[in-house]
Chain A
Amino acid sequence: MPPPAATDETEKPDQKSTRARSSPSHSEGDARDLGESAELTRIARWGWAPLVAGCVVITMTIVAAWEFAMVRAGFAPTAPKVRALLALRAVVTSTLLAAWAGYYVLRLRRRVEAERARTIEERHRLALQEEHITQSEGLVAYARVLAHEVRAPLHGLHLSAKALGRATRMEPEKAQRYIGTCTERIEADASRLTALVNEYLAASHAMSPDAPHEPVDLTALVRHVAASLRVDPAIAQAPSLDLASGDVRVSGNRARLERLVRILMEHAARASGDGPVVARLEREREHARLTITDTGPHFVDPANVFRPFHPSERAGAGLALAVAHDIVRSHAGEIRAENLEGDRGVRFEFRLPLETWP
């Protein structure tokens, strides 16, 4: 069954704390901190008993040794009652001192524990803030590039409008030659502008800083995306799948990961036309690896294909691959593209940390 798309962007407080704990770059340290914190809580609750008991035993041993030494040296009082009262006084005084010392130490520990909890909370807050800043910077960078990209269709619109204006002042027979083509170009450029704006909106949605993380089964997700491409009339050949047995779970945002897989599969399928595309999902030690191999033309410059609006003869210039790159990066993963040997074919590969090691 295909996984439901996570469309609800609202976030419950417990989801927030889950996301903070499972934040990719901090999850290991956080887990360690939380383990230490639980240990400290246990000590704070029950640690006083062995502490006080230890103090009492040590004090009694010292008192007994002192008494023994006094008796051996001949300085101790001989009356047994007096000796017993002295010993009792020493034990009670020592026990009270030990109890006070234990109480004081435990208070100190509680304060240390509270301070540590505050530090962990602050670290989570800063990590989330850093993630938000990174994503905001990404959107600002996209917007900056977009501002340049809209110049191309605007450039075409200006020229087509000017040519159209000139054509209307020509003789009708001559004008006909230009009017139709100019109108078509104006429509085409307007469509390009619309597509650019839509692409930016989609990118800003994919880069939304409030997207919660959760366990995501990549196997089901890849199957779901491939199934939707099979019924897409614009896709001639949907990818065939080679999936690892069992779940391949990662921690991430389901909607973003679905968009990531869709971007890569669509790109490969469109570039390949009728040619085959193969998506292979496997576990690789502590990572999930998805490889998408197509039969489309080579990239001219594979190292730069993830730059926003990088011109490409495979699928034009756009934000899709840049968004894919940023989604992988926000999940602490790696992505790359490389040309296959021979005249055609490109392989995309991304790796994401598994939620739990197999």
Chain B
Amino acid sequence: MGFDFGDPFASIGSLFRDLLLGWGLAPDLVDFILIVLGAALIGMLALLTAGIFLTWLDRKLGARVQDRLGPNRVGIFGVFQPVADLLKLLTKEDTTPEGADKVLFNMAPLLASMAVIGIWAVVPFAPDLIGTDINIGVLYVVSIGSVGTLAVMLAGWSSNNKYALLGAFRTVAQMISYEVPMMLVLLVPTMLAGSMSMGTIVEKQSSGWFVLMAPIAALIFFISSLAEVGRAPFDLVEAESEIVAGYNIEYSGMKFGMFFVAEYLHSLTIAALTALLFLGGWRGPFAETYPLLGLVYFMLKTAAIYLVISLLRFGMPRIRIDQLLGLNWKVLTPLALASVVFTALAGKLASTLSWNKVATHLVSNAILALLTLWAIWSYSRAERRRSEAGDVMRLSESGSGL
């Protein structure tokens, strides 16, 4: 069988398959070994390496934003700095605080990395390159995400440290409440594609990326998953100036490293999910004939969104916990609900009156955006009037006092 450079994944797969079958193994066992190999290759090697090198990218970008050079000693442009950091982390003493719950303390970093890597099982990299295209892919992503919350809570609780516990409490308030608009808004691509499978959602974007049909949903998904990861401006979970470092304060060495890499990898994961759900995933010119090109498109889209996430971190101050929860419950959740309703209505209208699907959805989103802006504007006006009235009252009170 010749090696097809347009579609190398299938070729490599069948190459390995023939090899193992040639050794006289049962076909079932061969499939099983290939799945394990693929999971190990993508999960352990590709993703963790990506996570490690993202820290370099982040430091370099942050340095440029702050008019510094950033890491520039190890390798060209300091590109091997993460390797040096990794070696340092590996040689550090592995401490366990006194009074810590040892089993849970050691389990938490494992769970944190597992929850992030688990999401990639349903990510279609290229037309046929997907771990497993289960028909509940979107729901699976949400359910694995909740395990990550559990990991952070366990880390905070088992450390026997009040700052870690405070970080864990903030996590519950933040991650669980931002899960609400995220889950709601995931219904929009599900409705547009008519399926919860990631593969089908990407395939259904052939007529147009879902970001065109649901820009508001895309924005809500991006914001709420940013809060779910705990990246700036939503990094209250580990606000170093308030609670030292939050849930992972007592961790040292590679256990801290696992949390660290898991966080960076989670940022990459939400970039990838946004690209898949709203930007067409691997879709692009000639991607279907040359799957390798699809992988390139997917990577480019993911990288572009990751760049936005990374730059947001250096351009935004951290928001207060009341603002964080206010934004979630007063703006994002109602807007997500409204977006689901508008998408359903627009879809029904477009199919019954045979209007242009993309245009109908776009117009409905524009109406929703205008309504939202109007609601926020009138709310802030009422708020301003109230605070001005309060000022006048206070002034007159103090005046009478004199």
Partners in one complex: no
